[in-house]
Structure 1
Amino acid sequence: MLKLSNETKVGILTVLGITLLVLGFNVLKGKSLFSRNKTIYAVYKQVNGLQPSNAVQVNGLVVGSVSELNVKDNDPSQILVTIILTKKIDIPRNSVARISSDLLGVKTVQMELGNATEYLKSGDTIYAATVDGSMTDALKEQISPLVKKLEGTLSNIDSVLLAVNGILDTTAKGNLQETMRNLNTTMRHFSNTSASLSSLMDPQKGSVHATFSNLAAVTGNIKNNNEKISGILDNAKKTTDALANGNLDKTLLQFQQTVTNLNATIAKLNTTDGTAGLMLNDKKVYNNLQNSLGNLNKLLEDLRVNPKRYVHFSLFGKKDKTKPLPSDTAAVQQ
């Protein structure tokens, strides 16, 4: 039996370890060791966190994985991604390799197949490569307009508050406080009014209930006396019929003639025709009548004061002195 030295054993183990290490590294990178794979390349401006061993999918089916990511021609704006296709599929040349991510942030390369009749071969490069925005980018795109609107709104609110602060000086604040106190007083009055209204609407003791009860009683009385009311209306109808069928026209004609005669009499009184017209309209007749009444008053006064002037009755024949009239005396004193 061949004996191996310890140095030989260590060398063999070292070679086996290095081989297993290389094979395991390639397996972790998604490379198949025993199948014939197709290698294609994609060029991106930025890979958005894409890492080796990330899956490559076509219509949701995993067809390969990302092998390497390198800078092309020392230009950081061009990143060359090496893609290993483990499944035997034909990819049209106008296909698009799109980098996308799921909700957990896991990156994948989605192959969107084109409609070309020529297909990519191993070693070809896809230049139609795009990157979908991440959820953070999408949120930023959605939030950015809202942030701008919020900034504008806050600016407007700040302007309004400054304007309100300028308006509400010490006097205005005092007026506002007085208004609030008046409002509180009004609300208390409203509460009292509401309580009064509730008491009025009380179904047991409220005035409204009593009013409706009285109204019901009145309507009940009208209903009970319906026959009497009908009789009264019938009598009124008979009376009006009797007036309509009677001598109402003749009575009205006589009344009209009476009014005509009265107007004629009044017209005569307004003229100087007749004694009454002269007395009412002639000033001389009025003055003569006034003088005659004055003289008659004097005669009656003289008869009262000096009755012996008109009736002589004396036992001794003594002649009394004539007394002046009080009216004449008063005229002299004036």
Structure 2
Amino acid sequence: MTQELTLDQITPRMPLDRKLLLGGLGLTTALILIVTYIWCGIDPFALYAKRENAVSYLFGRTVDESDRQAAMRQAKRVPAIMAMEEAMQDVRTQMQAAGENDFTEMTRRAKVLSEERLAAMPKAEHDAIVKDEYARIVDQKRGGFFPPETAMANLRKYFRALVETVAIAIWGTLFAFVASIPLSMLAARNTLCLIIPGSSPARKAGRRVIQFSVRRLLDFCRGFNEFVMALIFVAVIGLGPFAGVLALAIHTLGNLGKVISEAVEAIEPGQVEAVEASGSSPLQVMAFAVLPQVMPTIVSFSLLKFESNVRSATILGFVGAGGIGFLMFDKLNGYLYREVCTMMIMVILTVVVIDYACGILRRKFI
């Protein structure tokens, strides 16, 4: 006759001190979540209550008659403003050539000249300026990101900037990839023992110092956001994509170096011992026993960082580091949200294509 086992007999009873420890951890976690939930002001109901603001922000609001009247009043002033600006520039040039610098007289002459030019302006030209400005103001008052801008001239300009963004991501990832391989070997214990063999106290201390220093260097590289690094490099070397390349390279180096070094420390030691026993040099051991084991991780994570760097390179343009982000920031400041929407769609489609291409590469080489 078989004896039935109870649940208490199958699963061992948990000691009281362990129960108290887990209970304390659970209460602490719950307390942290509650405090941070209140601190961050998380309120899903508030988000639902503001849904109309989101709709009007994305798709624009209805322009009423008062908005149209205000836009027309503003548009009718534009021809006079343009005439005054042109007249002021011409009078300034004439007075500088004559050696005069009286600003009051310059303003008086410019006002007279602008009134003459405004009176002589053909009605068709005047009406065309007012009509274009009226349409621009009404569109600005309507706002919204949709429908996106589809003018071919603008699309070509955006595409060139997008290619520059991808180029920034390519070179930033490539520089980081090349530098991360040797640094990760110095940050891993097992490969560092191959590079500096021996069990003497001096060699052990040397390995500890090198590993600690390299790991802290990698911490420093990924400790700063790409945006902050781009600000620094733009201030040092000036505006342009090279500042973005350097910012991405340093941040990506910190990430790649950490992941690769941890993958190196987790490799199967048997292959290393076999190649080492054949009399191979440390460089040969790493080339034929270490790298083949970690290469799938290196390729996979490098492709992932390249995808991420394309998105990051877009944001770096906001601080002058080149690419489509520079145009996007300029259009945002001008309230040209539909053009920004077009650029955002182009970036998303580019990321989708890159993700698909990287997936093909992973299947072929991993």
Q: Normalized per residue, which structure has more helix?
A: 2
When normalised by structure 2's length, the TM-score is 0.16
Which TM-score applies when normalising by structure 1?
0.17
Which structure has the greater CA radius of gyration? 1
More RCO (CA 8 Å, sep 6+): 2
